């Protein structure tokens, strides 16, 4: 069974407002669990995601504004370690947006690193969601152009 990490949060904003912050990689260092990020949300583009303990360079595979951002990353070759990360934005009936932050891992090294994919990593996904929610809702309160 592939290890999977998922964190879900509702954000008081439209899917497009959430998308705008989610894909503003240059501002990640101001609010997210990533210390820095670079790139564009376009299919085929390579992102550079920096965290305190590591840097990785995933490739964007889906970039549907206001709906879904997905990237894949590998450690070495795909058969060793492969992660597919998605952010799905779903409109709720009350005008809020549900963000589902999800990642599936596969490859030969998954068995060795499975213990590291538990609580601390899962908490990081929840922290990312909370930071995104705060950033989006703060910008929404300030109005357009904030």
Residue 137 has pLDDT above 90, yes or no: yes
Q: What is the pLDDT of residues 75-94, one digit of tens each?
A: 766 677 788 999 999 999 99
Backbone dihedral region of 66: left (phi > 0), alpha (psi from -120 to 50 degrees) or beta?
A: left
Sheet holding 82-91, edge to edge: 4-11, 97-106, 82-91, 68-74, 59-64
pTM: 0.88
Q: What is the CATH number of the domain that holds 13?
A: 3.30.530.20
Q: From CA 99, how far away is CA 61, in angstroms rounded? A: 18
| Residue-range definition of the domain harbouring residue 21 | 4-142
pLDDT tens per residue, range 48-77:
998 877 788 999 999 999 999 999 988 766
Six token digits for residue 54: 């590591």
Predicted confidence at residue 105, as pLDDT, reads 86
**Overall domain count for the chain:** 1
pLDDT at position 74: 81
């Amino acid at each position: 069974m592939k290890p999977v990490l998922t964190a879900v949060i509702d954000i008081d904003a439209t899917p497009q407002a959430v998308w705008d912050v989610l894909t503003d990689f240059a501002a990640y260092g101001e609010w997210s669990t990533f210390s820095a990020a670079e790139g564009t949300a376009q299919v085929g583009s390579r992102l550079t995601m920096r965290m305190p303990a590591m840097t990785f360079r995933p490739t964007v595979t889906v970039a549907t504004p206001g709906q879904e951002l997905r990237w894949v990353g590998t450690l070495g070759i795909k058969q060793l370690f492969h992660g597919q990360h998605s952010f799905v934005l779903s409109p709720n009936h009350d005008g809020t947006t549900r963000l589902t932050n999800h990642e599936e891992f596969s490859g030969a090294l998954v068995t060795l690193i499975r213990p590291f994919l538990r609580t601390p990593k899962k908490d990081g996904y929840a922290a990312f969601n909370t930071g995104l929610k705060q950033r989006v809702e703060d910008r929404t309160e300030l109005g357009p152009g904030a």
